[in-house]
A and B are shown apart, each in its own frame.
Chain A
Amino acid sequence: DTAVSQTPKYLVTQMGNDKSIKCEQNLGHDTMYWYKQDSKKFLKIMFSYNNKELIINETVPNRFSPKSPDKAHLNLHINSLELGDSAVYFCASSLQGAEEQYFGPGTRLTVT
């Protein structure tokens, strides 16, 4: 009965590669998010989708492209990975708006 799930949990890849992280929520929520947590534990929003529409797009390199095939899924594709992309990426969802967000377990991305 996982609420927000992400795959993979760990991702180790080399610089220059392209990779995707998938997120699914079974809560019936309308809004989904991607956050990046750096090595100092700082959590920053990257993107937000409401009913498959992009509503928040923070200052993120355009190598990062979110895609929402339906309101239960929000995937994150990253092109030309760089060392600085190493972080833990969290997906989250909320019923609507920014209130009470439910977070997934995170994907630890390591770029070598």
Chain B
Amino acid sequence: GESVGLHLPTLSVQEGDNSIINCAYSNSASDYFIWYKQESGKGPQFIIDIRSNMDKRQGQRVTVLLNKTVKHLSLQIAATQPGDSAVYFCAEVYGGATNKLIFGTGTLLAVQP
């Protein structure tokens, strides 16, 4: 499959457990952050976003935490399901007038049944 030879950071969890995926971002001037999910063979899909004036935002089963002091972002997934298996990317919006998304490395979440 696609993961052969791929050396992404991997998080392996049991179905039903909570997952926490971490991300360090690079630019202290970034003011908007997004988490994307990429399933095998598909394009990235928006999950949740957060602005820099917040430190927490909740969605359905997902929570994003932002710590600007240490430039750290995390994505928490409650009651992880097999359908959550994917590569997760954090991205920061950066660049003033020509805003662009800068993607992090990606973390492979593997959910064990």
Please report the C-alpha to C-alpha distance between residue A103 and residue B42 in the assembled complex, in whole angstroms. 9
Nearest chain A residue, comparing its CB with the CB of B38: A41
Contact residue range for chain A?
A: 20 to 34
Please report the C-alpha to C-alpha distance between residue A41 and residue B99 in the assembled complex, in whole angstroms. 22
Whether the Cβ atoms of B43 and A56 lie closer than 8 Å is: no
Whether, in the assembled complex, B24 has its beta carbon less than 8 Å from a beta carbon of chain A, the answer is no
Please report the C-alpha to C-alpha distance between residue A48 and residue B46 in the assembled complex, in whole angstroms. 18
Whether the Cβ atoms of A100 and B34 lie closer than 8 Å is: yes
Whether the Cβ atoms of A101 and B101 lie closer than 8 Å is: yes
Instruction: With both chains docked as a complex, state the minimum distance between the C-beta of A31 and any C-beta of chain B, in angstroms.
Output: 9
Whether, in the assembled complex, A97 has its beta carbon less than 8 Å from a beta carbon of chain B, the answer is yes
Whether the Cβ atoms of A42 and B105 lie closer than 8 Å is: yes
**A 1-23 contacts with B by CB, 8 A:** 4
Whether, in the assembled complex, B12 has its beta carbon less than 8 Å from a beta carbon of chain A, the answer is no
The proximity string for B residues 1-30 relative to A, scoring 1 for CB distances below 8 Å and 0 otherwise, is 000011110000000000000000000000
A56 / chain B contacts, CB cutoff of 8 Å: 98, 100
Whether, in the assembled complex, B62 has its beta carbon less than 8 Å from a beta carbon of chain A, the answer is no
Please report the C-alpha to C-alpha distance between residue A101 and residue B44 in the assembled complex, in whole angstroms. 9
Q: Give 25 CB contacts A-B under 8 Å.
A: A41-B6, A41-B8, A41-B87, A41-B105, A41-B106, A42-B105, A42-B106, A43-B44, A43-B103, A43-B106, A56-B98, A56-B100, A90-B44, A98-B93, A98-B100, A99-B34, A100-B34, A100-B46, A101-B46, A103-B36, A103-B43, A103-B45, A104-B43, A105-B42, A106-B41
Pairs A-B, 5 closest by C-beta atoms: A103-B43, A98-B99, A43-B103, A98-B93, A41-B106
